[in-house]
Structure 1
Amino acid sequence: MGSVRTIHRGGSRFYIHPDRPEIKHPGVTSVIGMLPKPFLMYWSAKLTAELAVDSLPFVAQMAERDRQGAVDYLKGASRRYTKLRADVGSQAHDLFERMIRGEHVGRVHPDLEPYRAHFADFLEAVNPRLERAEDVAWSDTHAYAGSFDAVLTVWLDADGKPTPDRSGVPHLLMVDWKTSKDTYADVALQMSAYAHADRIIAPDGTAEPMPEFDGAAVLHITPDQWALKPVRIDADVFAFFLALRKTFTWDREVSKAVIGRAIAKSAARLVTGTQRRAM
C-alpha cells in the first residue's frame, strides 16, 4: 500500500486512495466547511472597516494613484489576517509534533515561544504517552478522510483529572491542537469523524483498524494560556457530521445535475435590417 496524497479542487481538499487513485475522498475539514457561517460576513466587514479607519492617509494616497489597488488592499484584509493566523498555526502544530515525539527543541522564533512554553507545561502537567501523530483517518464506509493531530494515552483519576505520575486509569484519547482565539463546537464534528473512521494510514502506507477510544480532548493554546478540554465524539455527534457529508455531495455533485436544459423558451428577439447594418 502506498502513502496517501492530497489534491485541492474547487476550494476543497481531497485525499487520494493509496492503491486506487480514481477514489478521492473529501477531507474532514472540507466537509465541515458545509456549515453555514454567517458571522464571517460581519467579521470580514469589521476588519475591512478597521483597516480603512486605521490607515486613512495611506489608503487615500493609494486611491489617488490606483483606485482599484486601494479597493483590493482593503478587500484583502480578512484574507491576509486569515493567512497570517494559519501560518502561525501551522508552525505551532509542527512545533507541537516535534515536542510530543520527544525531539529536543531549542530556541524558537519569539512569536512561537509562548506556544512552546505552554506546550512544554502541558507535557509536564499531563505527561501523556504518544500513540500516533499526524496520520490519516480513512473511512471506506462513509467516503471521507483527514489528518488528525494525535492519539494519546492519558492517565486520569476518579474525577477525570490527569495524574502526571500515571497512577490513574489510562484513557485512549483522540486529541487536537488548537491555536485559535477560542475553541469552537465544530471541533467535536472534526474529532468524531476521525474517531469513527475505519482505519489509520501511516505515512509509509501501512494501515491498521481505528482503535476504540475512551474519549477525545482539544488542547487549546494561545500566547497567554493553555487548557485541555474534553470533547464529545459519540454517535449523536457523528450523525451530524454524516449529515454534512451528504450536504457536501449535494453541493459538489448532485446540485450540478438537477436542472436540465430548457424544453421551451421565448423566441429569439427580432433583429431589424437597420440593426444589422449598424453592427
Structure 2
Amino acid sequence: MDPKTAIKYPGVTSIVDMLPKPFLVWWAARMAAETAIENLVAVTAIAQSDPTGAIDYLRNAHSRYTKLRAKIGSDAHDLFERMARGEAIGRVHPDLEPYRAGFAEFLDVVRPELVRAEDIAWSDTHKYAGSFDAILRVRLGEDGKPDHVSGEWHTLIVDWKTSKSTYPDVALQMSAYANADKIIAPDGTSEDMPEFDGAAVLHIKPEGWEFLPVRIDAEVFDIFLTLRKVFRWDREISKTVIGRAIASGVRRLVTGTQRRA
C-alpha cells in the first residue's frame, strides 16, 4: 500500500502465483510418502489410537517443510541485507552459517555497490506493487564476469534465493520490479525507478552459491502483464460474469412414505 495515498495494489508474488503449478501436487504427495516411510513406527503408533491425527500429520508434511524453509529464507534475507549494508556480522545460528559464508564470499568476489534494498516497487501504470531484495551496481567485463579494474558498471535488479533450485518464474517477478514506475521507501518518500542494465539472482545453498543473469526483457514483462489480467479475472471479473436466474424451477420428489404421512 502506498502510505501517502492509501491505494492498495496486488503484490507481484500473488500475480506470479497465477501460473499453473501442477508439479506441486506430486511434490506434496511425495513429501507425505517420504514422511510416512521415514517415520513409519511413529505414524503406525499414532494411527492405532488416532487415525485422523496420523492422516493430518502426513497430509501436512509439505506445509511443515514450506514453513521451515520460509523461516530460514526470511532470516537469511535479513542477514544478507545487513551484510550488504556493511554491518559486521558475528556468530550466527548454525542453520544460517552456510548462507552467511556464501554471501560473504559473494561480496568478496563480485564487490557490489548497494543502491537500494528491501524497498517497494510501485506501478500505477499497471496497478501492482512488491518488495524487491536489492538494486546493485557491479563492475563487469565483456565476458560478463566481475572485472574490478577495467569493467563497466552495470545497474542490476537483484533477488536473493535460498531455495533448493532457481525457477524460471523469478524472471517474471524481477521484470515486474524493473518495470515499475517508482520506488517507495519505508518513510513514504518515493523516486522514479532507475534504468536497469539487467537483472540477476544470487542463489545461495549450503553447498555453494551462483550469481545468475536473468532475462527481464519486453517479452518476459508482457507475460507478467498477462498474469496481471488473469489475477484480475480470478479476484474480480469472475465474480461478476454469472447473473441472477432469468427463470428457474424446482422439482421435488415426493416419496410414497411422505404421501402416506
Shift of 1:77: 0.4
Q: Does 1:60 align with 2:48?
A: no
Partner of 1:259: 242
Residue 232 (structure 2) pairs with residue 249 (structure 1): yes
User: 2:9 aligns to what SS in structure 1?
Assistant: strand
Distance 1:120 1:276 in 2: 82
- Which residue, out of 237, 251, 258, partners 2:220? 237
Q: What residue in structure 2 maps to residue 49 of structure 1?
A: 33
Task: Name 1:106's counterpart in structure 2.
Answer: 90
Q: Which runs of 4+ in 1 moved over 4 A?
A: 270-274
User: How far does the alpha carbon of each residue in 1:75-107 deviate from its partner, in whole angstroms, 9 at most, with x for none?
Assistant: 100000111111111111000000000001000
The number of residue pairs the alignment matches comes to 261
Is 1:158 equivalent to 2:142 in the alignment? Answer: yes
Q: Which moved more, 1:56-65 or 1:101-110?
A: 56-65
1:69 to 29, 49, 53: 53
Aligned-CA RMSD value? 1.6
Deviation at 1:274, TM superposition (A): 5.2
More displaced, 264-273 or 247-256?
264-273
Greater displacement, 83-92 / 262-271: 262-271
Q: 5+ residue gaps in structure 1?
A: 1-15
Q: 1:40 to 1:174 in 2, by over 3 A?
A: same
Alignment partner of 1:125 is 2:91: no
Q: How far is the alpha carbon of 1:261 from its aligned partner?
A: 2.3
Q: Which residue of 2 aligns with 1:93?
A: 77
Compute the displacement of 1:273 (Å): 9.4
TM-score of the pair, normalised by structure 1: 0.90
Structure 2, unaligned runs of 5 or more:
none
Task: Indicate the larger mover: 165-174 or 149-158.
Answer: 165-174
TM-score normalised by L of structure 2: 0.96
- 2:204 alignment counterpart: 221
Percent identity, aligned pairs only, is 68
Check if 1:170 corresponds to 2:144. Answer: no
1:198 to 181, 191, 199: 181
- The CA distance in 1 between the partners of 2:86 and 2:253, in whole Å, is 78
CA offset digits 1:25-81 (Å, max 9, x no partner):
110010000000000000100110111122122111111111111111011000001
Q: How many Å separate the matches in 2 of 1:166 and 1:179?
A: 30
The reply to whether residue 19 of structure 1 matches residue 4 of structure 2 is: yes
